[in-house]
Structure 1
């Protein structure tokens, strides 16, 4: 097993379940110290107990809704006091609601942008300058294939993930001379509780269940890429090929793909 993460300090947002929790498990297994952030402090406490029983690492947990930017500043200040310098930030917190554009409320639109985009930027801003000064660090943003392929019934969610990819790509270029790494992770649908909110009726999950990625698999790809110059992680590969075709032949792709997209 690689020693690359041993004694490194890692922050993971949205760590109470899904790929966030699986990333935490793998990082702890590889000897990293962790600050785990999520709204559900109870689940974080259970994860902390699990990891400390299995591994000789330091685990800190903090209750945080990343959309509350004042709290982001407060919590990240405490993290730095508790851990010291931060080597890796994984921006994993996010949610989606799959409905047609006219059915999504303004509050839901603001909620998705505040968590998926503004919260991610706020968390990044709290570690960015120190990483630049130190000329060492890695920012990993969990985006989505929805940030590359817009589909019906996910207009707002897709817009947030397009924003995350735009921010990530710009950030990577800004940091190119600072030796700070920036990676975008673009998974397709993952078998997590994400869809309890995103897909209230369960029709999308039913239609794509056989294609769903397992959170352990996605987490493994993310952790393997930590502290390596990996530009993007695109999962699954065949879905990413769809985004390439989409970029080259958007009209054809939308016409042919509409039937599949409408299964959502």
Structure 2
């Protein structure tokens, strides 16, 4: 019970530290700060180890603490899936494709999310394989502890995100954080993750705009034909939807989207 109380205190303290740090933001005129001010995952694991150590001061976590850590990890897993993988760009592009076709709920959200999920698993297979080989398997074999395994997995994901980030987005968050870094590899996840998310949003919207152009041409042609025929009261969207669907099917639109999205990640 004391171990659980100590773990809860650590969580509360960790939640309060960012707000206190934000209230004491240094003046912009001050020199840039180092990236090593934030606690690393290894430091947090050591804090939990010390808070949950028994009378013999062993380094093994108690069963309740392990359950808390496991369920906490499962709770944030959806956020990690959305924000640190290719899921964001894929689901944005698929949503734009459905909107460009003019179909409101076809395909339904469940099917769209399912396709985005499996495309994410397909595109992230090399990264997940690297995480398995460098982090999960050594941890299960007892070759490294949980903290080192977590850091190694984070480095693998950070490498993937850095390959997708634009330099301008990274520079934006580096400037706001006022950090010194010799290279992108020295940046922390607190900078890489938001830069990656902004970059994915921008890429997804760019692809979505390109998707809209051919369907917009179809709408304009149908509207011009209806206007010249004197059928101004007939909604052009209702007439153009079958033609847009036929065009999308003839060019194998879903296959092109899946191929382009899969090959668009480095």
Question: TM-score category by the smaller chain?
Answer: under 0.3
Output the TM-score relative to the length of structure 2: 0.24
**Larger RCO: Structure 1 or Structure 2 (Cα < 8 Å, ≥ 6 residues apart)?**
2
Relative to the length of structure 1, the TM-score reads 0.24
* Larger helix fraction of residues: 2
Work out which of the two has the higher radius of gyration on C-alpha atoms and give 1 or 2. Answer: 2
Flag the structure with higher strand content: 1
